[in-house]
Each structure stands twice: as C-alpha cells, then as structure tokens.
A and B are shown apart, each in its own frame.
Chain A
C-alpha cells in the first residue's frame, strides 16, 4: 500500500506516516494532534470533520489522505491569524451559536467555504449550503445569524 509521508496543513508542511487509504481525519487527529476536526459519523453525513481542501469544504472522515497529499489543507486550527479570530469565529461567539459546540469546528469551516464562494449569502443559500452539517443541540438559527454577521463584517473589512 502506498505511503504518504508529507501533508500541507495550515500553511505548514508536516511529516506523516500513513497509508494512502487512511482517512484524512485520522491523520489530522492522531498523527498531527489537530483534534479540532471532530469525528461524528464516519460517513460524511454530519459535517463535524469538515476541513478545507484548496479552499473547498470536504468531509475529512471520508477523504483518503492519499488524495490530498499535495493539496493545501485548512483546519479550524488554521483559521485564527496572528492571535486574531476569523470573523466567523468571532461571530459564532457573539451570536452564542453553540451549546456543546462539538459541531462548531465543522460549522465554521463549512461557513468559511460558503463565504469564500458567496460573500453575501441569503438565508436560503446559507441553509442549502450548510444542510450537511448537523447540530444536535439545535442552534441552527444562531449559526445562520452568525454567518450573516460574519459576512457583514468581512464585507465592511473589504470596503
């Protein structure tokens, strides 16, 4: 089985030792100790493990590490820059958009992908894009509000 020996994560290159078939989630969590991406279902149905691959949201639990060895991977740990929270992270805090927060990493990563492709999403667009992310505590309305708020802040930042 081919081995993968390096991975680009959060703008840094890390040595790893994994079979190409191993899930990206397992490598991130167990080899790089990046545990912010969570296991929730193992079948790409809950979104708790969402990371960005070259800026696109992917369920790392069903992504084989061999398919992303030369790609840029961003996890929740890579969102904060220079001690400053990403506007989405701040907006989630401001909106109180969490309870147990186990889904929060995946929610924020999915939302960051959404705002990259659609900086000013409508509520139906947010709902459609985020449908694959589950929050069992039921904070969906607050998450929608947080995404809208972050979009607003990011827009102001650009103008």
Chain B
C-alpha cells in the first residue's frame, strides 16, 4: 500500500502549493551529468550498436579526459581526442556511430515534439560528416541509449545540440579521413569527402564510410572544439530539407506514445479528486474489484484501475464510490476563482527565490525613476492582466509502462525524458539502471509536457497488475491535471519627452514570470521587478514563457506612450532603440506590411510590436477588422520579421513562425481557463476555444538570415509579437485600448 510514497507529494501536493514550475529551466543550475556506467562501457556499446566507429562529443574538461585516457589510437590519424577503452567519459552531450553498412546513427537526449529537431539535427550531421540525410538515423530521448539531457525546452536545441553534433560529425569525418589516408598511404589533406564516401582525386580511388567502418571497433571521444563549416559555405544546413520521416505521419504509421502497444497490455484509468487538493474521505472499491479482469489500486490518495480494455476500465472506475474532502490547509475554502484572480495575485505575495531576467535577480534598477518621471512631458500608468491558458497539446499525456525483472520501462510523451526517469526513480525507489524512459516523437508539448504524471500512474498500475499498462489522459484530464501558463498582473509606468525620448520605465510583473521582462529600449531610468505570488492553479512553462505576457504589456504601453507624445508607434520605437538587430526586424516587418504610407480601410487598424528573447529578434505587424455591430475582432493580416542568426532550415523556420502566430491568436483574443472552487469549468474543446481554420489571417514571414551570427532557436520567440500587435491594431481601428489577455473573448464591446 505504501509502496508509492513519492506519489502523493509528487502528484497532488503540487496542485495545492504554489509551485513555481514556471521557467523552471531558468531556475535550474547546470545539471551534473551522470551516467550509468553499466550501459556505457565500450564493449557494451559495440554489443548494442555493432562494430564500426563511435565518436562521442565531450562538453568540458576534455584535456583532463585526454590525460586520463592516454594517447589516441594511432589508426585514427593522430587526433587530439582520446580513444576510450572502458567507460565513456563523463560530460558527454551526444555521440554518433558509423556502422559497416554506412548508416550513421546519432544519439541525443533532445526530443521531437513537432518543432522539427529531428530534421534540423539530421541536417547538422549531414553538413559536417558529408553524408546524405537518408543515411542518418536519429535516436532521441531514450534514457538508456542517449546521453543525459536536461530537456527539450528554452529553444536550446539549435544553439547547443546542433553545434555539438556538428563537432562530433566533423571529428568522425576526421577519423574516416585518417583511416582512408592510412589505407592508401597518402596525405590526408589530398582527400575529399562527399555523400558518405572518401575520394582520392589523384588516383581516383573511392571508399565508402561503411567500408572504412566495417570490422572496426574504434571509439573516439573528442572535445567539442572542432572548427565548423561557416554558414556561408553550408550545403545541407540552410536548405529546406523536408521533415525526414514525413511519410510516416501522412500514412498514419508513426507511433506516438499513445499508440504504443505491448502484448498482454492492459488499459489504465485514474480516479481524480473532485477538486484541486481534495483528499479521500471514504472509498469503496468492492464493486470495481468484482469486474472480471480488473485490478484496482489504492495507494494513499492514488486510486486507479487496470483492465483489459478502455471500456472495462471506465466501467470499473465508475463503479468506485469515493467521497472527497477539501484540504483547507493547502487550499483555502472557497478557493480563488478566475473572477477574483488578479486581485488575488496582487494580495498574495510569495517569498520565492529570486527569479527573473537579470542574471537570476528579480529586481533591476538603474538611474533615478523620480528624476526620469520629472523629465517627462507625458507620464502614463497602466495595468495589464493575463489569464491562465492551457497548452492543450493535441495528444494528451500518455504512457505505457512495463515491469520486467524489477526493471521499469516507460514510453511516454515528455520534453524531459531524464526528468521523468527521475520522477519514476523517486516514486518507486529505483536506481537509474532500473528505469528506462523512451520518448517516441510526440503529439506536441509547447512547454506543457515537462512532467511525468501519466508515466508514474501507468507504472503504478502496471506494477500492481503484473502486466504492461497503457494510460492515456482524457482531454478533460489534460485540461485539469496538467499545468497552465501562469496568469499575471503587470503594472507599467513611464514617461517620455515631447521629442519621443523615454525618460522613465517602471515595470512590475506579478506571478507570470521573468522571461522577457527587461526592456530592449534605451531608458536611463528604470525599475523592473518580478513579484512571485501564490498561484491558485498549478502553473508551468509555456512556449516563450512569460515573455508573451511581458511583451504584451511592454509593447502595448509603448504604443500608449507613442500616442501620448503624438509619434508614429514605429518611429517612437526606433528612436529609443540602439539594438541594430531589433531595429532591423522592425524595419523589415514594417516595410513588408506597408506600414508607412498606407492607411487602414474603414473599420480596420494597424498595429506593430516586437522584442527579443532567447537569441531571436521578432517584429510583428497586424491588421485587424472590427465589426462595430457584432463586436467581432478579425485578424486580417500578419507580417512577422524574424532574425535567429544563420537560418538552418528556412521552410521549417517559416512553419514555426506561422504556427507561433496562429497559436498566439488564441491567447491574444479568446483563450482563458475559467475556474471556481478548485475546479476547471471549461476543460474541453467544446468549451475552451482554440484557434481554428477560420481564425487564421494571411501570414507573411520575413526571414532575416544573419549568416554572420550563430543560429538561435526559433520555436518560441516568434509568438511574442502577435498579441500586442493585435491590441495596438484594435486601438488603431477603434480607439479602444484592450489591456487584458485574452482581449476579446466575447467580441469587443464598444
């Protein structure tokens, strides 16, 4: 019964206490990389992978590693890396294997949730190893096969994993060149590599990578410092390679976590409390236990069933009689509702550790605010609010768990397979070597799948039933028991001189978070602060985190200040900007949109907004049409200019930018979680409106391809400009300023 000691704390307390899951990666210090040595000794490696060549990419302390490992193997051509004889070194970020069949298999802890990491990372390897993408296999997010990775979030795959894989690939090519040079007794600098082959132009000899790797058991570990091909000379990166396994998706063959099936597998369901934080007052499971084939698990406040089919599981669950009592300590009665949310956030500060956009500090001051305000000819003070919204990934949380000989394997959809492994280890008191988490490419996440609830639940049921168990959350469960994008209240005050110079900037964010809280504008006197508060709902990461809320407040206020000093909103921004890259995207978006010199048609309005975050520079122009009679707000046209450095895959980047804008429409105009007395009131698609075909405007994307800049991630930041651009456009159309996200859940009342 008490076997699940970790579960209570993990699964249910979390929703009752304030638990700043949000921006968790900003809070997290760099992880100590640690491996299970059993899995990674050299012999084991080749047993799993077959013979060939393995190159592992060492993140740091590479020199110490070399010394401890001795000289590199002569046959590898005298690289500065080391061969490894027994255990792989610590601090490894990725590795790749070249088999005797010429297939290159790449191992990375990053995962694919629709952002197209699988394709972009394939391009990275193809570029540096000079091998066709079709000969590359990516093994992603398998805790037994891939190196530790903190998780796929924060737009980190492109800036970190991409160069690491490229370095490993460059090193592997170096090894192959060395092998060919040795075999042919020629100077390696005379050799050329392309399409998985090495050629000696002088003698017209050619050898494939597979032939070079065949029969070898050669392992190299390299420090991550190989020079990389500059963007100007890319041939595979920089091109619009289509999704590498696209065919599996259009044929329905791909197996998402919820599609995994095992022999003898049962289906699980979990009994949910009537409200957040409620605990069991009484429980009667006799009727459920009497259903043939059903296993009922009651462990603390966890109650679940496993049955041969989903129907029988549902029937058994319905036959359980439970009474729940609210927990007044953890959850005051009545719990705050969505109606009194913003008042609650203001009045319930939380003394959390510093968190925010200023090197971990949550409070940033420069200059003298009083002087700044005194210098201004126009002063404003406004409040903006942001509702809780749900990620609503189309595939809800799902897991299949199997126990075999005391070892647990779970297939689940998560952005943090190693984090979920940790949750399972904690819940079941297992060691790393006893838990394997595999992450099949998943039906999206948007920051909403950092946790492993369904994995823990499926594992608990499987343990009791003695058979594998699949657990797929219902849509209502996903809406209710996952976590939300944090709600927030943002107070902004500021002033500007009549020439448009901003003299003072004060910005206070309550609860929604510190991402993107700083201002990119050049303001001498500023005070910017993040105020952690208690949260009535469980909250966590969401695409771009609080940068969406902070950009909404900042860029709306910028528009208000521009109008106060009677300047064009674009001119006002440019006047106060020094950042050339941000200026450039503003100008690029404005030019494509026709900002200068065109007037919106009657009933329409134009708006502009932008900012930078996570290495991405974004500016968005929007045109809206407001029907005065019906109050309907329609976004007619959006132009987004985006600069994330050297573009890795232009078409997929456009896809992300288009998608971010579409997703942003929901949070901007109509998405909001309604709740009362610890219950979600609109936790289904028939009650919670998400963007659909008819909501989508014309979207134009301008890519500012900076080949001189490192590539940054792009899955998140493009969402930031949409809401404020739309709000500013609504003001332009109607003179009505909307300061709450969502801005027009029931149309615009004017």
Contacts and interface: CB of A to CB of B under 8 A. Distances in A.
Contacts of B442: 100
Contact of A141 (B114, B472, B652, B699): B699
Contact of B253 (A36, A46, A140): A36
Given A43-B475, A100-B393, A101-B246, 14 more contacts: A26-B311, A38-B258, A38-B395, A42-B474, A43-B684, A46-B475, A85-B247, A99-B656, A108-B250, A128-B694, A130-B693, A134-B685, A139-B659, A139-B662
A126 B259 CA distance: 29
B663 A137 contact: yes
Interface of A: 19, 22, 26, 29-30, 33-43, 45-46, 48, 75-77, 79-80, 85, 89-90, 92-93, 96, 98-105, 108, 126-128, 130-131, 133-144
Nearest to B665: A138
A33 B444 CA distance: 22
B251 to A, nearest CB: 6
Contacts of B40: none
A99 B475 contact: no
A47 to B, nearest CB: 10
Contact of B242 (A30, A93, A102, A108): A93
Contacts of A22: 311
B269 to A, nearest CB: 13
- Chain B interface size range: 35 or more
B311 A99 contact: no
Most chain B CB neighbours (cut-off 10 Å) among A130, A134, A140, A144: A140
Nearest to B472: A39
Contacts of A93: 242-243, 246-247, 250
B115 interface: yes
B33 interface: no
B130 interface: no
A46 to B, nearest CB: 5
7 contacts: A43-B475, A46-B685, A101-B243, A102-B395, A104-B252, A135-B394, A136-B393
Interface of B: 113-116, 240, 242-243, 246-247, 249-256, 258-259, 261, 267, 309-311, 391-396, 441-444, 446, 472, 474-475, 651-652, 655-656, 658-663, 684-686, 690-694, 696, 699
A79 B242 CA distance: 21
A91 to B, nearest CB: 9
A103 B694 CA distance: 17
Contacts of B699: 141
A101 B655 contact: no
A107 B684 CA distance: 20
Nearest to B654: A96
5 tightest Cβ-Cβ pairs between the two chains A and B: A36-B252, A138-B662, A100-B114, A102-B443, A76-B252
Contacts, number: 169
Given A40-B394, A45-B684, A139-B655, A101 B249 contact: yes
Contacts of A43: 475, 684-686
Nearest to A86: B250
B370 to A, nearest CB: 45
B454 to A, nearest CB: 13
Contacts of A100: 113-114, 393-395, 441-444
Contact of B255 (A35, A105, A142, A143): A35
Contact of B659 (A39, A46, A79, A137): A137
A127 B696 CA distance: 10
A135 to B, nearest CB: 7
B207 to A, nearest CB: 34
B310 A41 contact: no
A136 B444 contact: yes
Contacts of A142: 655, 658
A105 B252 CA distance: 6
A102 B251 CA distance: 12
A126 B693 CA distance: 9
A42 B45 CA distance: 44
A19 B115 contact: no
A142 to B, nearest CB: 7
A83 to B, nearest CB: 10
Nearest to A103: B394
A93 B245 CA distance: 10
Nearest to B664: A138
Given A93-B242, A108-B250, A139-B659, A102 B394 contact: yes
Nearest to B115: A99
A80 B253 CA distance: 11
Nearest to A98: B249
